[in-house]
Amino acid sequence: MSVASALVAGNDPLPQLAEQALRLALEKAGEQQANGVLLFLTAEFSRHAQQAVTAVARAARCTQVAGGIAAGVFTDSGWVLDRPAAAVMVFTGGISLGHPETLALSGEPLLSYAGSTLPQGWSDVGQKRFGGSFAGHAGRVDPVAWQQSRLTDQCSVQLLGAHVEVGVSTGWRLLGDAQPVDSSRAYELLRLGGHTALDSLLAAVREDGHDGSPPMTSLCAVLIDDGASSETQGQFSCADGAHHLIAIIASSQQGSLTLAERMLPGQRLAWAIRLPEAAAEDMRRSVARLAVVARHPVGAVAFSCIGRGPYFHDGEDRDIDCLRERFPGLPLIGTYGTGQIAPSPARGMLQNAVVTALISHVARRFDVQSKP
């Protein structure tokens, strides 16, 4: 078994927790050492991360240990959000971790992890990335990542000997078709499709079958690219570059809505809603699309928003359940964080999303020579 994962939780953020998780993962893999290790620790380890990373590197007999601090962690065996925990994935056999410049021309995305903002250069079109981020603790500047067994502000590693397919579940469902912006003022959206912005939003919510008005945190605006189809009902992907989420900040008695970004007359805007049922269904579709292109994965890495997961699904992680149901027994590691990264022409950091990467062995190529 070339990939295996393990999760260990305890009462205190001790290096022994991470080392125990590493040994359990190696035992599952049937190996005594690893070619590379992904290690994710909960926020309780923030001041003790280097000791845990060093303990894992020593036990794995491997310096290629990468990962970071997260609000919570999970594997195929469960999730932890409220106590110290360590999640480990080991790579053995033909799969390993390497420097981001290694095989840079392979076209495979880099596994990346960072703090609250996207590091400079990470949005470059020439390099695809997938991963997550964690904002850390307010007022603290502790490193949130590690690479080659050393703490750092950001982490980027190449999965050598592996092919990676990435899927994105935004969890949002569009309400009706896109409408042109009639008028706006700075960040204030005044009129949309012949109606006030607020009337347009409430009408879309009613047409979707909601008697009351859902909280604003479950609603957002979606900017539709000019090249996208005019029929926008149903599910969509932010990663396709045609849809851009914009948070709704406030509403006014005059019927306007304050958005997180400026809008211009003529741009096309739709409304979207994020509810547990719709989010789980969107995740199920994301996993199904991945299953078509990665039929025999050996492992999975997922980066979920802290706003999804158990807090969103009433004590269960229905998003990750979708992945485990589709691929029972597949080694899995992931984090609950504050941002998600996906290979996307839209660039930037995603929120409220689940980014899933399926890892497969690189297909062997055989040279066939014709007989004389």
pLDDT tens figures, 154-210: 999 999 999 999 999 988 888 988 999 999 999 999 999 999 999 999 999 999 888
In this structure, the answer to whether residues 356 and 207 fall within a common structural domain is no
pLDDT for 228 beyond 80:
no
Domain boundary pick from 273, 288, 317: 273
More confidently predicted of 367 and 245? 245
CB within 8 Å of 312: residues ≥ 6 apart: 276, 279
Range in 95-104, 183-192, 289-298 with the lowest mean pLDDT: 95-104
Band (127; pLDDT cuts 50, 70, 90): confident
Percent of the chain with pLDDT over 70: 88
In this structure, the answer to whether residues 159 and 190 fall within a common structural domain is no
pLDDT for 95 beyond 90:
yes
Whether 224 is covered by a domain: the verdict is yes
How does the average pLDDT of the chain come out, rounded? 88
Band (81; pLDDT cuts 50, 70, 90): very high
Long-range contacts (CB closer than 8 Å, 24 or more residues apart) made by 192-198: 192/269, 196/254, 196/255, 196/256, 197/255, 197/256, 197/257, 198/251, 198/252, 198/255, 198/256, 198/257
Band (247; pLDDT cuts 50, 70, 90): confident
Range in 27-31, 116-120, 187-191 with the lowest mean pLDDT: 116-120
pLDDT for 51 beyond 50:
yes
More confidently predicted of 75 and 121? 75
Q: What pLDDT does 232 receive?
A: 44
In this structure, the answer to whether residues 123 and 33 fall within a common structural domain is yes
Q: What pLDDT does 231 receive?
A: 45
In this structure, the answer to whether residues 108 and 184 fall within a common structural domain is no
Average pLDDT over residues 110-125: 84
Query: pLDDT per residue over 320-340, tens digit each?
Result: 999 999 999 999 999 999 989
In this structure, the answer to whether residues 296 and 221 fall within a common structural domain is no
What is the three-class DSSP state of 289? helix
Q: What pLDDT does 287 receive?
A: 96
CB within 8 Å of 88: residues ≥ 6 apart: 5, 6, 7, 18, 21, 22, 24, 25, 37, 38, 39, 56, 333
In this structure, the answer to whether residues 221 and 316 fall within a common structural domain is no
Give me the residue label for tokens 């053995």.
Answer: 92
Q: What pLDDT does 138 receive?
A: 53
Q: What pLDDT does 318 receive?
A: 95
Domain boundary pick from 238, 273, 308: 273
pLDDT for 242 beyond 90:
no
In this structure, the answer to whether residues 163 and 181 fall within a common structural domain is no
Pull the structure tokens for residue 179.
Answer: 């409408």
Average pLDDT over residues 110-121: 88
Whether 369 is covered by a domain: the verdict is no
The structure's pTM equals 0.85
Domain boundary pick from 273, 302, 330: 273
CB within 8 Å of 59: residues ≥ 6 apart: 19, 22, 23, 26
Whether 367 is covered by a domain: the verdict is no
Percent of the chain with pLDDT over 90: 66
In this structure, the answer to whether residues 249 and 337 fall within a common structural domain is no
More confidently predicted of 274 and 107? 274
Split into its structural domains, the chain has a count of 2
In this structure, the answer to whether residues 79 and 56 fall within a common structural domain is yes
In this structure, the answer to whether residues 24 and 143 fall within a common structural domain is yes
List the domain range (segments joined by +) for residue 251: 176-273
Band (307; pLDDT cuts 50, 70, 90): confident
Q: What pLDDT does 120 receive?
A: 81
Average pLDDT over residues 222-241: 58
Bridge partners of 79?
74
